[in-house]
Amino acid sequence: MQKYSGFTLIELMIVVAILGVLIAIALPVYHHQAATASTKACMYEAKSYSNSVAYALYDQDYSTNPIAPVIKACETITDASGWTLDTMQKVIATAKLPSKAKIECNLPEGVPCKALP
């Protein structure tokens, strides 16, 4: 009688079932972490841009104008390149997928940036 070595079909099915359960648990956690990272990256980019706009507007050297945003972590950011102290408004940014959160930096009131739901 010949003896076969290897895994049985039942053993392989159990392994596949365990992997399926682990993946079902891990995917929502991964998606949440990716969305949080996307929101935070856009938040830091919007804060940095808002600070550079505020510095340019409040600088005593009147030849300094705000620059256009360089977008990397956000999908969109309000362009403040034509703003003056009188026309200053909120800087609003939208995070990239999977988050799509809106970030608001209220420059006229000096309120720090915050993520809107």
Question: Sign of the C-alpha dihedral, residues 47, 95, 102, 36?
Answer: negative
Q: Report which of residues 100 and 61 the model is more confident about.
A: 100
Digit-coded pLDDT (tens) for 33-82: 999 999 999 999 999 999 999 988 888 776 778 889 999 999 999 999 98
Residue 76 falls within a domain, yes or no? yes
Residue 98 falls within a domain, yes or no? yes
pLDDT over 90, % of the chain: 68
Residue 1 falls within a domain, yes or no? no
Residue 61 falls within a domain, yes or no? yes
Is residue 101 within 8 A of residue 39, CB to CB? The reply is yes
Q: What is the DSSP letter of 86?
A: T
First-to-final CA distance of the chain: 69
Cα 106 off chain centre by: 19
Q: Evaluate if residue 85 carries a pLDDT over 90.
A: no
- Report pLDDT for 44: 96
- Report pLDDT for 103: 96
Q: Give me the domain span that covers residue 71.
A: 9-116
Dihedral angle over CA of 75, 100, 91, 44, nearest 10: -80
- Report pLDDT for 13: 97
Tally of structural domains, the chain: 1
CA distance 43 to 3: 63
Is residue 98 within 8 A of residue 40, CB to CB? The reply is no
Amino acid at 33: Q
Model confidence, pTM: 0.80
- Report pLDDT for 3: 81
